[in-house]
Amino acid sequence: MPVETVDLTVAVHFDKPGAASVRVSDDGEDAHGKWIANSLISMKHYNLQHTQGVDRYGYRRRLPIAIIRIPVWLAKKVELV
């Protein structure tokens, strides 16, 4: 049985090649960021847009925006929907 998925538009706080997970938020605030395992992301697309966000030290940062596809159960668990 296929897993139900959802596409989310998120601000990306951390995404490095070879990393096990990415840190994303729905509002650009690192304090609201969630770690998502790359193995659970079935699609990640950077749309070349950016947003203003705040890093963990309180400094304003320009963050890339991406669309990710993750299982619905995970989106609910990390409160992104």
The phi and psi torsions of 4 (rounded to 5 degrees) equal: -70, 130
In tens, the pLDDT along 15-37 reads 999 999 999 999 999 999 999 99
The predicted structure's pLDDT at residue 67: 97
For 23, counting Cβ atoms within 10 Å of its Cβ (0-12 exposed, 13-18 middle, 19+ buried), the class is middle
59 pLDDT tier (thresholds 50, 70, 90): very high
The whole-model pTM stands at: 0.90
Q: Are 66 and 45 in contact (CB under 8 A)?
A: yes
Torsion sign across C-alpha atoms 52, 70, 21, 81:
positive
Compute the average pLDDT of residues 44-59. Answer: 94
The predicted structure's pLDDT at residue 81: 82
The predicted structure's pLDDT at residue 2: 81
